């Protein structure tokens, strides 16, 4: 009797900017089941429940067993394969977002050693990963609960870290900037406001965002607002003017122009296209 299984859920659209679940699931693998060689476009953590297997990354092969975890970094070629005699069973979560790299730097995962042997709070990590799967769904509330559970899971890896790297000042500044934007994007804040909140000059803030995220503070703020606008256009009946005001634009024409520049459609066209797709 074959008792192998795979249960997975892929999120079709990531609504949240700071951290979003990409996929989540759990699997009991067949003998020598293999993924790769290949790359992912997102972060992916596996926690091993039972059995064993091999994780190949950076030209090295690592044998992993129950209680171990491994991380796949975006755009890094990897292979992971179940053992022939005792194939592993694992649970996983894939995720993206501007918070991801900052959080992972506070864990024991590194690009040189993207695995952890015998995670100290492994049972709780397994439980939280299953909670993410249980929260799956297509509604915004599902995305919120999945992301909340993901933050909790990553916090467990942070608390289990055996070495705390020195706080990178640019990381700290960017994280504070993201927090300020997340809390205040609906007001007509400016880059100067963000810099003042953190206590930096505008040029220093610009360099920090560029070095960590590869975008300017203004670009991040605009992208964040447009992401929220997309959600409101799809899930509310607010007018374009009301949506513009709700995300910090005091001029609806400027909002429409900015939206079109980023999305290639006017807000009205975007809403219409979404509604037709739902019919």
Q: What is the pLDDT of residues 168-210, one digit of tens each?
A: 577 778 888 888 888 888 899 999 999 999 999 999 999 999 8
- Show the tokens assigned to 174: 């960017």
* Structure confidence by residue, pLDDT tens digits, 111-145: 889 999 999 889 999 999 999 999 888 787 888 88
Shared domain check, 153 and 29: yes
Residue 46 shares a structural domain with residue 131? yes
Q: What's the Cα-to-Cα distance from 111 to each of 62, 75, 104, 108, rounded to whole Å?
A: 14, 12, 10, 10
- Coil, helix or strand at residue 245: helix
Residue 119 counted as domain residue: yes
Choose one of 159, 194, 213: the last residue of a domain.
Answer: 159
pTM comes to: 0.62
- Domain with residue 209: its CATH number is 1.10.10.60
Looking at the structure, tell me whether residues 46 and 94 fall in a common domain. Answer: yes
| Shared domain check, 10 and 39 | yes
- Read off the pLDDT of residues 220-229 as tens digits, 9 standing for 90 and up: 999 989 988 9
**95 pLDDT tier (thresholds 50, 70, 90):** very high
Q: Per the domain annotation, does 164 fall within a domain?
A: no
Examine the domain organization and report whether 108 and 16 are in the same domain.
Answer: yes
* 3-class DSSP state of 45: strand
Q: Do the domain assignments include residue 212?
A: yes
Is 268 contained in some domain?
Answer: yes
- Percent of all residues in the chain with a pLDDT value above 90, rounded to a whole number: 55
Indicate whether 135 and 106 sit together in one domain. yes
Q: The domain containing residue 142 runs over which residues?
A: 5-159
Same domain, 135 and 179: no
Same domain, 124 and 254: no
Q: What is the CATH number of the domain that holds 113?
A: 2.60.120.280
Q: Which residue has the tokens 């890896």?
A: 157
- Cβ-based neighbour number of residue 157 at 10 Å: 23
Given this model, what pLDDT does residue 3 score?
A: 59
Final residue of a domain: which of 159, 178, 212? 159
- Host H or E run for residue 160: none
Residues 150 and 264 both lie in one domain: no
Nearest CA to 146 out of 49, 45, 5, 11 is that of 11
Please give the tally of structural domains in the chain. Answer: 2
* Same domain flag for 139 and 211: no
Domain boundary among 102, 124, 159: 159
Peptide bond into 37 cis (omega under 30): yes
Q: Is 77 within a domain?
A: yes
- Residue 259 or residue 147, greater confidence: 259
Q: What does the alpha-carbon distance between residue 1 and residue 191 come to, in Å, rounded to a whole number?
A: 62
β-strand 20-28 against 53-57: which pairing, if any?
Answer: unpaired
Residues 124 and 15 reside in one and the same domain? yes
Report the alpha-carbon distance of residue 215 to residue 156 in Å, rounded: 29
> Do the Cβ atoms of 132 and 24 come closer than 8 Å?
yes
Q: How many residues does the chain have?
A: 279
Residue 102 φ/ψ, nearest 5 degrees: -65, -45
Count of CB atoms within 10 A of residue 126's CB?
A: 20
Secondary-structure breakdown of the chain: helix, strand, coil percentages, each rounded to the nearest 5:
45, 20, 35
Which tokens in the block code for residue 9? 């859920």
- SS3 assignment, position 236: coil
What is the predicted pLDDT for the residue at 169?
74
Tens of pLDDT, residue by residue over 66-82, are 999 999 999 899 999 99
Asked whether residue 59 is assigned to any structural domain, the reply reads yes
């Amino acid at each position: 009797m074959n008792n192998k299984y795979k249960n997975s859920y892929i999120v079709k659209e990531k609504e949240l900017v700071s951290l979003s679940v990409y996929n989540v699931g759990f699997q009991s693998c067949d003998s020598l089941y293999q993924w790769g060689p290949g790359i992912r476009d997102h972060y992916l953590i596996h926690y091993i429940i039972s059995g064993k297997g091999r994780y190949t990354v950076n030209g090295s092969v690592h044998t992993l067993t129950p209680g171990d975890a491994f991380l796949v970094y975006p755009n890094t070629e990897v292979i992971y394969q179940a053992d022939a005699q005792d194939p592993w069973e694992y649970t996983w979560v894939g995720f993206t977002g501007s918070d991801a790299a900052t959080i992972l730097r506070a864990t024991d995962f590194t690009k040189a050693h993207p695995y952890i042997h015998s995670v100290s709070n492994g049972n709780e990590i397994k439980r939280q990963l299953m909670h993410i799967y249980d929260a799956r769904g297509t509604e915004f509330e599902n995305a919120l609960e999945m992301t909340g559970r993901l933050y909790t899971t990553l916090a467990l890896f942070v608390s289990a870290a055996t070495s705390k790297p020195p706080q990178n000042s640019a990381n700290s500044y960017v994280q504070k900037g993201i927090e300020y934007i997340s809390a205040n994007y609906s007001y007509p804040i400016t880059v100067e406001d963000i810099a003042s909140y953190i206590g930096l000059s505008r040029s220093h803030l610009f360099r920090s965002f560029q070095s960590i995220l590869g975008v300017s503070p203004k670009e991040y703020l605009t992208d964040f607002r447009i992401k929220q606008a997309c959600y409101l256009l799809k899930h509310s009946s607010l007018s374009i003017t009301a949506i513009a005001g709700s995300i910090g634009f005091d001029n609806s024409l400027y909002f429409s122009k900015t939206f079109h520049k980023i999305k290639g459609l006017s807000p009205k066209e975007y809403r219409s296209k979404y509604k037709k797709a739902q019919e």
